[in-house]
């Protein structure tokens, strides 16, 4: 009887929790425009919970849609989430900043830096913001998210694209420009319309990096991994490893660490591309 009674109590608790759960969804829309046309025009998006999808198009305005979802176990917490979670936009010169707006968010107009601190908070709801943004084709991008989402860029042909996703994958489709991609725990998949530019960097701790190009590539590649390899169907030649000596202060002394990256040349060499992985493989193919 005791076991049956215990099972009945657990079932009732689960049923009550399910019955009390509440949710709210809202689409936040904004449209704005750069003050002037410039190669320096930049859109910066900072998110914490949710996806970021950006698509280039033949237009002059930035079109922002953010799907806001709030989940809570009672109406009071739900109303708190509806009130506290939003989207904020700041324009500084040729830069447009789009970011999560909550009591735990901070934006510094002088530096353009976004920060998020939620230590010891009494937030009794969960939330996501999923951004879908359209930008003019040549807009430079700096996109960052942390949890519960993908980071996707399509058809953007800019001078520079910077993307960072901590716990989700990165997909860059039909892009151009210098690229800095960092997916800490998932894969990075990139297809280029034109060749990757000099100074591009690709980093992943626990994922693979896959790059597809549409034309012959001339590049000098540096590559570092602990538990992976590098694969390509392009013509390559070996180069001398790239080594550096880093110094760290430790107590009253100094600690030295020798870092070494394997290097090889693709085609005739030229653009410097850097790959840094720990537990994954890197691939460049045509």
- CA distances 112 to 37, 40, 65, 81, Å, are 20, 15, 22, 26
How many separate helices (H) and strands (E) can be counted in the chain? 2, 22
Q: How far apart are CA 248 and CA 157, in angstroms?
A: 39
270-284 pLDDT per residue, tens: 999 999 999 999 999
Instruction: Indicate the pLDDT class of residue 257, thresholds 50, 70 and 90.
Output: very low
Q: What is the mean pLDDT of residues 37-42?
A: 90
State pLDDT tens for residues 12-31. Answer: 444 444 446 899 999 999 99
Q: Is 71 exposed, middle or buried (0-12, 13-18, 19+ CB in 10 A)?
A: middle
- State the Cα–Cα distance between residues 15 and 20, nearest whole angstrom: 9
Decide if pLDDT at 248 tops 70.
Answer: no
Q: Domain 20-285: which CATH class?
A: mainly beta
Q: Above pLDDT 90, what percent of the chain?
A: 68
Question: What pLDDT score does 122 carry?
Answer: 76
pLDDT tens-place string over residues 235-244: 878 665 555 5
pLDDT over threshold 60, residue 8: no
Largest CA distance in the chain: 79
Report pLDDT digits (tens) over 51-71: 999 999 999 999 999 999 999
Specify the DSSP class assigned to residue 13: H
User: 89 is written with which tokens?
Assistant: 């936009």
Q: What single DSSP character describes residue 79?
A: H
Q: Residue ranges of the domains in the chain?
A: 20-285
**Tally of residues, the chain:** 286
Distances (CA, A) of 279 to 146, 185, 203, 207, 224: 20, 10, 11, 7, 10
Predicted model pTM: 0.85
Token output for 40: 């320096």
SS3 string of 20-64?
Answer: HCEEEEEEEEEEEECCCCCCCCEEEEECCECCEEEEEECCCEEEE
Alpha-carbon distance 161 to 176, whole Å? Answer: 8
Tell me whether strands 140-145 and 157-165 are parallel, antiparallel or unpaired.
parallel
Q: Which of 163, 165, 172 is nearest to 193 (CA)?
A: 172
User: In this structure, what token pair is assigned to residue 278?
Assistant: 């720990």
DSSP 199: T
Each residue's pLDDT tens digit, 86-113: 999 999 989 999 999 999 999 999 999 9
Higher pLDDT, 190 or 250: 190
Q: What is the pLDDT of residue 147?
A: 93
CA distances from 117 to 79, 104, 109, 128, 129 (A): 21, 5, 18, 16, 17
pLDDT band at 255 (very low <50, low <70, confident <90, very high): low
Between strands 282-285 and 52-57, the pairing is unpaired
Model confidence at 1, pLDDT cuts 50, 70, 90, reads very low
Give the β-pairing of 230-232 and 282-285: parallel
């Amino acid at each position: 009887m005791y076991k049956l009674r215990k099972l009945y109590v657990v079932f009732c608790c689960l049923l009550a929790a399910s019955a009390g759960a509440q949710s709210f969804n809202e689409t936040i829309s904004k449209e704005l425009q750069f003050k002037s046309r410039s190669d320096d025009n930049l859109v910066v998006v900072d998110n914490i919970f949710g996806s970021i999808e950006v698509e280039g198009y033949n237009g002059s305005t930035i079109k922002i849609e953010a799907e806001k979802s709030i989940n809570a176990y009672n109406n009071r917490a739900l109303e708190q989430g509806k009130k506290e979670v939003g989207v904020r936009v700041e324009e500084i010169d040729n830069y447009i900043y789009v970011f999560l707006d909550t009591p735990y968010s901070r934006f510094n107009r002088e530096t353009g830096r976004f920060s998020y601190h939620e230590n010891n908070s009494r937030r009794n709801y969960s939330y996501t913001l999923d951004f879908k943004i359209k930008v003019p084709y040549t807009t430079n991008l700096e996109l960052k998210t942390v949890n519960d989402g993908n980071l996707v860029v399509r058809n953007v042909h800019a001078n520079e694209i910077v993307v960072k996703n901590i716990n989700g994958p990165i997909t860059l489709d039909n892009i151009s420009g210098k690229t800095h991609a960092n997916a800490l725990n998932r894969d990075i998949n990139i297809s280029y319309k034109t060749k990757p530019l000099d100074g591009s960097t690709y980093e992943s701790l626990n994922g693979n990096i896959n790059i597809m190009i549409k034309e012959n590539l001339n590049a000098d590649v540096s590559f570092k991994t602990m538990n992976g390899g590098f694969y390509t169907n392009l013509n390559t030649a070996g180069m001398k490893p790239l080594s550096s000596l880093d110094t760290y202060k430790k107590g009253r002394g100094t600690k030295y660490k020798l870092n070494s990256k394997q290097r090889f040349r693709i085609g005739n060499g030229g653009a410097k591309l850097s790959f840094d992985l720990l537990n994954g493989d890197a691939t460049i193919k045509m």
